Each structure stands twice: as structure tokens, then as C-alpha cells.
A and B are shown apart, each in its own frame.
Chain A
Amino acid sequence: MKRSWFWLVPALSMLACVGAGAQEVKLDRWPSERGTNLEALQSGARTFVNYCLNCHGASLMRWNRLHDIGLDDKQIKAFLIFGNQRVTDTMTVAMHPRDAKEWFGKAPPDLSVIVRARNTVEYAGTDYIYTLLRGFYRDRSTQTGWNNVVYANIAMPNIFWERQGPREATLTRIEYQDIPPPDGKGPPRQRLVQTVSQFDASGNVVLNRTELDQGEAGFAYGFKPADPKAAAAVDAQVADLVGYLNWMSEPTATFRRQVGVWAIAFLVVFTGVGHWLNAVYWRDVR
């Protein structure tokens, strides 16, 4: 009887979940073990420098910070820095933001903290970028000829297209639409409509619309690569790249966790001593 109000807590909490919205696309999970593997991080750094750093800068990232993932100044200079930058410089790009805006419609964002910037309470930034970079498909209707399943009408083209090989894409979207009545009179009806868009490798699309009697609104997609091996290799390369981006967004993270272990260990001892001291002082209090 005393605890009879407890049902109110779950009841109200369940009410809170009414109509909980989620990210439209189900994101693939980034293989997080790549984030702690030095070799993977180095390969990610190479991909970053070769593929991203032409348009995107990382203006908070100093070249010699790459020491932390096991590269020395010589390697950095020989394999990573193009042009006349020094290892103490930050990773900036020569492209002027104004030009970039003209070319792409939007200046490519700085990538120094991009993984953290894409974190939300619903999903991790690593998963988002991992899915985004592997989610390009040919679409003739866009400016660049590319489109993306995560970020519709993205200004960025598919940087891995040569290595990935041609891919066909199937996008299935189920949503409520207003359907005009067949006789053209009266108000439109809300119907669940499934739209399947099939993009061939050149970006030509075939649309297929059907009205559904039941089902749930949502979005799904699938790719059919011409060369599955090449596509899988790009998946692995992107996983390494995301690992690098993740590392770059907080290079001190590993050290932070190491310090944390010691801090917690100290605090356990501290609390133990506190417990003992407290017991000694309070022993005689009646």
C-alpha cells in the first residue's frame, strides 16, 4: 500500500516516449576496434591527407600531433605533407573559402572536431560519418551527379568512386501522402505510399510507387556494387578514416582515460580512508 504510487513513475515515463522520433536512416555501426589500432589510425591518416585534405581543412590539428599515433617527423614529412608546410603547422588547405562556396555551393566544413560535432543523444558521430561516406549513389538530377542516402542532396561528391567501382542503389521510402480522390472531388486522403527508386550505375532512376494498406513509415536502402571486393575494400578504408577522424577530434582521449583509471583508483583508496576516519570519529557518538 505504501508503495502503491510507484506505477505512476513508469506510466508517466512511458507517456514520455509517445511518438519518439529517430534518425530517419538506420546507421551502420562503425567497427570501433579500428579506433584503437595504430596501424588502422595511420592508414586512416593517409586516407585523410590524400582524399579529404584537398578541400577540407583540419585547422586545429598540428602535423606533429601525429606522433601520438606512432608517426615521426620524417615519416610525416615524407609521406603525408605535400607542399612546403612544416610539421609544426596545422592542417590547413589552400582553397579559399569563398572559392569553395562558389564551387560547391557551401564551404566544406573544417574536420578537426567533425566526429564530435556529429554526436547526438540518438547516435554516435562515428556511425553517422561511417554511413555517410559509404552512402553515395549516382543521381543525374544533382549538381555533382552524386547523392547520398544519409544526407540528401549533399554538396560533396563521392571521393571513393574510382576505388569503389560502379554501384546500383535501391531506395525504399514509405510515407504518408495526400492522395487526391479518384473522381477529383472532395478532400485528398492520407495514404501510406511506398516509393522505390532504383538508380542504375549511371544515375538514371526508375520510380515505382504503390499504395500500401498497412505498414510503417520509414526509409531503407541497398547497394549492388559491380565489384563487391572493391566496395568491401572501400568499406575498410572508410572505417580506418573514421577511426582517424575520431582520434583527431580529441587526440587526448586515450590519455584522458589512462589518467581516469588512476584517478578512480586513488579515489577508491581516498573513500576507503574516509570511511575508516568517519567510523573512528563517530564510534563514540551515541
Chain B
Amino acid sequence: MGLHPTQYKGLLGWIDARMPSLMIAFRTHMLEYYAPKNFNVWYFFGSFALMVLVIQLVSGILLAMHYKPDSNLAFWSVEFIMREVNGGWFIRYMHSTGASFFFIVVYLHMFRGLLYGSYRKPRELVWIVGCVIFLSLMAESFFGYLLPWGQMSFWGAQVIINLFDSIPLIGRDLSVWIRGDYVVGDATLNRFFSFHIVLVPLALIGLVVAHIFALHDVGSNNPDGIEIKDHTDANGRPLDSIPFHPYYTVHDLYGLGFFFTAYSAVLFFAPELGGVFLEGNNFIPADPFQTPTHIAPLWYFTPYYSILRATTSEFMIWLGLGTLFLGVLTYLRVRPGPWRLVVAVFTFVVFVLMTVPQVRLDPKLWGVILMALSTTVFALLPWLDQSPVKSMRYRPGWHKAVLGVFVTAFVVLGYLGINPPTPGRTLVAQVCAALYFGFFFLMPWWSRMGTFKPVPARVTFAAH
């Protein structure tokens, strides 16, 4: 009768006979997805991120029921939600706290990748899709931050959109096109609302599905950085693996207990987190005629914002020298032939555009380029990392130091970006920016240096 044969009984059997893809998907991604059994605490953050996505979608849907994307009403409608809607404060704080937690867990998730070389072959595509998710998340957050229509919302958007002005020829028209007006206004608010609740969430959901599909096709990495598929039993099941469901579902459920405790601690006891998660200035309605003395983006953007601010005209010569140094290194690395010429010409052009006063590009534009580069450079990691082993566990001890310096530079840049600049701070930001980019662009050289430890054939695992 056209029905598919099924092993299930009852309602499930009825469905499975008509739509077997449902149970096939469940088996592929849960029951028969074999994950390495030696995951450690760093492997929680992927499922935490998925959880935050759900929180943001649910709370976002509820917020959209009362929010009004109108420059005269937006600010008041948010406060209306906080005061007059039943449980509105809870929905709003869920969303605002969730936004910051999204970045916390995503940053830790990315750090895990750096620590264990999760971006290495064959997981390049998993990593690249992840980088696109990260960029979408930043777009989502940027659009969403305008919606409360406070002073920081308004001026933050104004500053960031004005960055497009620095693009030669088309910049001015481009920024007007983005705003839909000559200043951030009602048109901007409405289109940002539309992007924030329709376009980017759709993209995010699709990308997350792609991220998980790509991961499940090649299988998860693990803290040892070993391919568990190299040692399988007679059925082709990796020996060091365990079915994702129920083992990692209960494991993640346990982990979610910790996540929700931290999340609730902020949500219920410190939703502003001392002005870091919710900035004081944003409790003042947007006023196009009054520029705040100090404009800072939210904390998760501040490392990149610091890099933007650090790119002063005095810094350009150092950037140029850095580029030159990198160009020479690359030139020596590349085999003689046409690619050498490409490297030489590219380095020369960039150096000239950075340093020669008559033709150099505006330092502001370089700042924008570097800021964009600092958020996208992660995608190059699979090719920048030339180390013979994946996991930090079997790499030379000083590789940990290099990673530690990078993380510290990132945190310091973030701290500096929250605060107003001073000459001393700008200098520190410049040093940290150099460390930030040095970490990535010198990786092809440093990642293969040092004495590597022998990698075991099977994963290290102690029974619970």
C-alpha cells in the first residue's frame, strides 16, 4: 500500500511508515551518532550555545508581541514591557542577559577549537560555517541593540554605520543607503527590527543546522585531537566512541544545570552586571542632538572596537613595517614562481597604501579594515595552523603560552574598548592589536616550531 516497513509500534510506527526521514534523522544525529567518549568540560559550550539560541528565539517572540518599532514609541514600549506586561521584566532580562551569554558561550566554544585544533582537516567546513555563525551573531546583536532606542543604541549605531563613510567613492552613499536616512532614524529602526527578527534569525537557524550536519558528517574532534574513526569495531563503529543519545544528552543536561545557574544569577540578581550587560546610558531615550561624552559598544564588540581605535596615523608606520616583515617571511616560504611575485606585489602595494603620505589610505579606513579582519581572520585558522598535531595537549608547552598571550591580548583589548581612550591606553591597545594579529599571521611559522609530544593511538579516558 505504499507504506514503508517500520520497526516501531503505535503512533511512532504509524508516522514512521509514512515519513521515515524523521526517525532516520533522529538515528543519524542522536542514537547512532558516535561521539568520542573523552569529551571534557570545554565540550559543553556547543550545546549551551544551542540552548541560548532557543532562549533568544522564545523570549524574542514574546518581546515582539509588545515592542513597537517606532522611534517615538520604541524606548517607552521597552519600559512598558518592563513595568506593565505580566512577567515582562523576566522576558526582557531573559533576552538581554541571553545576548551577553550567547557571546560568552560562543567565545568559550571557539577557544575550545583553538585549544584542541578542532578546525583542522577534515573539519574545515565545520569551522568556516561556525565563523559565519559568529559573524551573523554579531550582526544580530548589532541590529538588536538599536531596538531599545536609548542613547547608546542610537549613538552606537551612528558610529558603526558612519564607519562605512570611510570607504572611498561609495562610502557616503552606502551609509545613507544602510540607514535609509541621513541620520539614524525611524527608517533605520524599522529595517533593523526587520533584520533582527526575520532575516538574521532565519540565517542563524539555517547555519546552525549546517554546522551540526557538517560536524556529524566528519565526526567530533576530542581533547586528544585523535581521529577516533581510525580504530573501529567490526560494524564500523569507532572503539573510543559512545552514542550521543542517551550518553551525551544526559551529560549536557547536567551541564545545562550549571549554565542555567550562572545565567539565572545574572538575570535575577544583576541583570545590568554593573553597566556591562545593560549600559546606564541606554536608559536615556535616544536624542540625536545630544552626543554622549563616551560611546562604547557592548562588551562583546569591544576587542574589535579597540583595534579600530588603536589604528591611529602614528600606528600606520608600525602596521606597514609589520606587513613588510610578514610579506618577506611569506616570500621566503613560497616556492619560486608566479606566487612569489603575487606576494611581493601585494606586500608592496599594502605597504605603500599604509605608509606613503601622498597615497596612503585614511587611517580610519585601515582601522575599519583591521576591525573587519580581526573578526573574520578566525576562518583562516585551518590553513594558518601548520602544527603536526591538533591538540594543545601534545604541542610544546610554550604553544600554550602563545595561546595565553593571545587570549590576554583579546581580554585587554576588550577592557580598553569599554573605557574612554587615553594616550597610554591607546599604546597598550596597539601592542595588543599587534599580538592579536601576530598570533594568527605568524602561526604558519610558530605552530610548527618546538618539540611535539608523541600522540597516543587511542584517546585518554578514565571511567567515571
Contacts and interface: CB of A to CB of B under 8 A. Distances in A.
B400 A5 contact: yes
A109 B89 contact: no
A271 B257 contact: yes
B284 to A, nearest CB: 5
Nearest to B397: A2
A264 B401 contact: no
A274 B256 contact: yes
A264 B276 CA distance: 22
A259 B268 contact: yes
A278 interface: yes
Nearest to B420: A21
Nearest to B280: A119
B9 to A, nearest CB: 25
A98 interface: no
A13 B247 contact: no
A96 interface: no
Given A4-B401, A13-B412, A119-B272, A19 B425 contact: yes
Interface in A245-286: 249-252, 256-257, 259-261, 263-264, 267-268, 270-272, 274-275, 277-279, 281-283, 285-286
Interface string B406-419: 00110110011011
Contact of B254 (A117, A119, A271): A271
Interface in A104-121: 109, 112-114, 116-121
Interface residues of A, number: 56
A56 to B, nearest CB: 14
A12 B432 contact: yes
Contacts of B424: 18-19
Given A251-B83, A267-B260, A277 B250 contact: yes
B257 A8 contact: no
B251 interface: yes
A60 B264 CA distance: 26
A15 interface: yes
B274 interface: yes
A20 interface: yes
A9 interface: yes
A243 interface: no
Given A259-B268, A278-B250, A8 B408 contact: yes
Contacts of B80: 60
Interface string B194-211: 000000000000000000
Given A60-B80, A119-B280, A120-B275, A5 B398 contact: yes
A152 interface: no
Given A260-B264, A285-B464, A113 B415 contact: no
Nearest to A264: B264
Contacts of A264: 261, 264-265, 268
B405 A277 contact: no
B267 A260 contact: yes
B177 interface: no
Contacts of A249: 283
A203 interface: no
A16 interface: yes
A92 B254 CA distance: 50
Contacts of A4: 401
Contact of A260 (B268, B398, B408, B427): B268
A12 B463 contact: no
A16 B410 CA distance: 12
Contacts of A283: 464
Interface string B276-307: 10001101100000000000000000000000
B10 interface: no
Contacts of B256: 274
A1 interface: yes
Contact of A274 (B257, B418, B431): B257
A121 B464 contact: no
B79 A18 contact: no
Contact of A19 (B250, B280, B423): B423
Contacts of B82: 250, 252
Nearest to B273: A121
A63 B28 CA distance: 59
Contact of A268 (B261, B411, B464): B261
Given A121-B276, A125-B280, A263-B264, A281 B400 contact: no
A282 B405 contact: no
Given A8-B401, A267-B257, A113 B283 contact: yes
A112 B253 CA distance: 41
B394 to A, nearest CB: 14
Nearest to B253: A274
A16 B284 contact: no
A77 to B, nearest CB: 21
Contacts of B281: 117
Contacts of B250: 274, 277-278, 281-282
B269 A257 contact: yes
B431 A15 contact: yes
Contacts of B432: 12
A57 B353 CA distance: 55
User: 4 shortest A-B CB distances, which residue pairs?
Assistant: A260-B268, A271-B257, A5-B401, A274-B254
15 contacts: A5-B404, A16-B425, A65-B83, A121-B418, A250-B82, A251-B83, A263-B268, A271-B258, A275-B254, A278-B250, A281-B247, A281-B250, A281-B251, A282-B250, A285-B464
Given A1-B397, A279-B464, 5 more contacts: A9-B404, A15-B412, A60-B80, A117-B283, A263-B268
